[in-house]
Structure formats: C-alpha cells, structure tokens
Structure 1
Amino acid sequence: MSTTFLDTREANRRDLPALIELYQHLAEGDEQPSLDLAEEVFERFKAYEGSAIIVGQTAGVLAASCTLIVVPNLTRGGRPYGLIENVVTHSDFRNRGFGKQVLLQAVDLAWKADCYKAMLMTGSKKRETLDFYLGAGFEQSKTGFQMRRVAARHDD
C-alpha cells in the first residue's frame, strides 16, 4: 500500500467497529468491548468537553488514531490540560507520518480548548517509539508513575 494521503477527523459512532479493530494494532489480543458497550462508552466520552478521538482514514481504512481527554484543572489559572492516549497506527500503514498527523491534530485541539499542556505516556522502551514522540515535538521531561488493575502490555 503506497497511499500517503490521510483524511483526519473526529470519530463518530459509525467508526466504532473499525476503531475497535484498529486497537488490536495497539495491543494485539486485547479484550474487545461489545459494540453496545463501545457505543455506551463513546456517549460518556463525549461528555468531556473539548475531548476527541481523532481518526485518520486512507483508502477506506482507519489507519491511525489517538484520544485526547481535556481535563479540568484548578492550577495554571484554571486552564485545563490535555491527556493523549491510545496512539495507534495500523501495522500496514506505519512509517508514513499518519500517527504523527493524528497526534498533532490532537495537540491542536488541546490548544483550541485552552489547555496549558498536552501530555502523554508510553510504556514502550523501543527507541523507534520514543523517537516517534520526540519527532512529533514532545519532550521526555517528567517521570511517570502508575498503579494498575490490569497488567501492562510488554513491549519488547
């Protein structure tokens, strides 16, 4: 596949089946929600003002996506911050700039929502993954901690 054009937009309910499948390229074998549950979660997600699931489509396929959550905040003059999660590119479409395109659209939406920062975390230690985020303009400047109820993916 040599397609290089990516049409980016906010996801809608009709995207959910393809989006659920795309997430298998993020965590192969991860448990998938039923479509009914996905629709319910999507409706709850839309209640977070300024938040969006960005999708990138090419050749009729959802090729890349990421999620932006705009988090209300009482510091920084009451300005919110953006949390980016679930950054994924379909394995057939990697290394074409698609992931960077959806990621930068999420950052642009964060700025439009008056966020004072946009941040993300990765559990990956792969140099190419870290270089991807650095190349998109993110800096590796904080130390992250987490407590999990579900085991983390292992990224060898």
Structure 2
Amino acid sequence: MMIRAAIRSDLGAILRLLREVGDPAGARSAHVRMSSAAVRAWTRMESDPDRTVLVAEDRGQIVGTLDLMIVANLTHDAQPWAAVDNLVVDPQRRGQGVGRALLEDAVDRATHSGCYKVEMLAHEGGAAPSGFCVRLGFGGSSDGYRRYL
C-alpha cells in the first residue's frame, strides 16, 4: 500500500469513498456522478498550497482518503496548525491499517510544515470511533460546535 497526494484522475474514486460519509446507501452504487461543482471544488483544492488530499492506493485501487489543511496562525509564535477532515476507508479495508497509514502520513506532513497541533473531528455516528483516534495519539480536548450555513 502506498500513501500519496491525490491527483485529478483520482477524483472519481475519492468521491466514491466520500459518499460513505454522507450517503452510505448511495455509496454502494458502482457509478459515481462527477458533478461540475465537484470538479470546480477539486480545481480550487489542488491549487491551494496549504491543502493536500491524500489517498491510500493498493494494487491500483484507491482504498482510503483524507483531506489535510495547514492553517496559518498568530498564536504559538505564529506556528501553523493542521486540520484533518474526511478520513474515509473503504468498508472492505477497515481494520487493516489503511486509516492509520493515512493519518500517520498527514501527521508527518504537518510536522514538516512546522505545525504545533493536528486537529481531527470524527463524523457523528460515523465509522471513525474514538478508540481509533486514541490509539493514534489523539485525545479528546474540547467540545466541538458547528453551525451549518
């Protein structure tokens, strides 16, 4: 298995995995519609030097993904911090170290970027249980609040 930065041709596979988070029933569909909005979002994301979408690839198949964002900061001597979002592993590959490998790569990239912390939120009721996060060195540190616009 190899962890690498995603490229444009990975977008269909990434969207298939991300449907696991937002629409588990729809994720089982073999066909993933690549909307023009998704292509526009991808174009913005790939041109952002502070954002990297990582993929786990095994034998030519994308089996996991996550989104890493490096955030400029004025506290902690202006050291940036990192946010990890959309960590998803193919259901057939869960429990096989894919998520761990993705997250370890993201932490390495954040360290090399001079980040003083990495934050990650698990999806409510999602497939990323707190035990997984704790085993990888993440601790619960605060309540999270969200307002959708």
Which TM-score applies when normalising by structure 2?
Answer: 0.85
How far apart in 2 are the matches of 1:104 and 1:89?
14
How far apart in 2 are the matches of 1:58 and 1:107?
21
1:23 maps to 2:18? yes
How far apart in 1 are the matches of 2:4 and 2:46?
15
How far apart in 1 are the matches of 2:109 and 2:35?
27
Alignment of 1:6-155 (within 5 A): 6-27=1-22, 28=24, 29=26, 34-124=34-124, 129-149=129-149
Superposition deviation, residue 126 in structure 1: 7.2
Which TM-score applies when normalising by structure 1?
Answer: 0.82
Structure 1 residue runs of 5 or longer lacking an equivalent are 1-5, 150-156
**Alpha-carbon spacing, 1:36–1:108, altered in 2? closer, same or farther (3 Å):** same
Superposition deviation, residue 40 in structure 1: 1.8
After superposition, what is the alpha-carbon deviation per residue over 1:75-133, rounded to whole angstroms, capped at 9, x for unaligned? Answer: 11111110100010000111101011101111111111111110011243579711011
How far apart in 1 are the matches of 2:126 and 2:34?
31
Code of the residue aligned with 1:81 in structure 2: it is W
How far apart in 2 are the matches of 1:124 and 1:134?
16
Code of the residue aligned with 1:24 in structure 2: it is R
2:70–2:80 CA contact under 8 A, matched in 1: yes
Q: Aligned residue pairs: how many?
A: 143
Code of the residue aligned with 2:141 in structure 1: it is S
**Alpha-carbon spacing, 1:126–1:100, altered in 2? closer, same or farther (3 Å):** same
SS of the aligned residue for 1:78 comes to coil
How far apart in 1 are the matches of 2:80 and 2:48?
12
CA-atom RMSD in angstroms: 2.1
**Alpha-carbon spacing, 1:148–1:112, altered in 2? closer, same or farther (3 Å):** same
Code of the residue aligned with 2:38 in structure 1: it is A
